[in-house]
Structure 1
Amino acid sequence: MTTTYSGPARLILVDGACISGMVSLSTNQRGGLNGWSGTFRPDEITTDLRDTVEELQLELPYDRLGTVAVTGVRKLLATQVLVSLEGRGPAPF
């Protein structure tokens, strides 16, 4: 079982819009609890992504899907943001 994934991904918003970017994910295994989390760097910044509070779908290559919640959005540079994600359910990697 893989415990990390870094590479291309797409966030699928509630309205079906897709945002492409790069993701870095890992599993968290503490005290018998399994979970996963990571960060997503979108190719383009959209207000839809900044304003989202609902659970989204994260699509990895080969049609692997996972449910994520956005836990934070942080500005990296004038034209880039880093989105913190927390996985819900089984990790798609």
Structure 2
Amino acid sequence: MILADGARVSGMASLNVNQRGGINGWGGNFRPDEITDDLREAGEGVQLELPYERVGDVTVTGMRKLLATQLLLSLSGHGPAPFS
């Protein structure tokens, strides 16, 4: 994940394409390897960088604790999905 200020956060993403009622979009979840204050403030202007230099614009739409030391971020993608 690339935050709005250019900081990079490594982690694991689970992404999917939504095709409901003719509306195309994509989104999913991101579990960061490390939690930072900048990550907690993430919202718009965020990008996901996938293997092979594929990048997609996302908005962080939610955040919840999994365990005492883990967060799960909900994402909504903008533009073409970088994984299809």
TM-score (norm 2): 0.95
Between the two proteins, the alignment pairs up a number of residues equal to: 83
| Alignment match of 2:17 (pick from 21, 27, 44) | 27
Unaligned residue ranges in structure 1 (runs of 5+): 1-10
Larger displacement relative to structure 2 (48-57 or 65-74):
48-57
TM-score (norm 1): 0.86
Trace 1:8-27 onto structure 2 (pairs within 5 A).
11-27=1-17
Match of 1:8 in 2: none
- The alignment's C-alpha RMSD in Å is 0.7
Unaligned residue ranges in structure 2 (runs of 5+): none
Larger displacement relative to structure 2 (55-64 or 45-54):
45-54
**Aligned partner of residue 83 in structure 1, secondary structure:** strand
Give the AA of the match of 1:13: L
The whole-number CA distance in structure 1 between the counterparts of 2:38 and 2:63 is 12
Q: Sequence identity of aligned pairs in percent?
A: 70
**Aligned partner of residue 82 in structure 2, secondary structure:** coil
Quick check: 1:82 aligned with 2:72? yes
Q: Could you say which structure has the higher strand fraction?
A: 1
Runs of 4+ residues over 6 Å off in structure 1: none
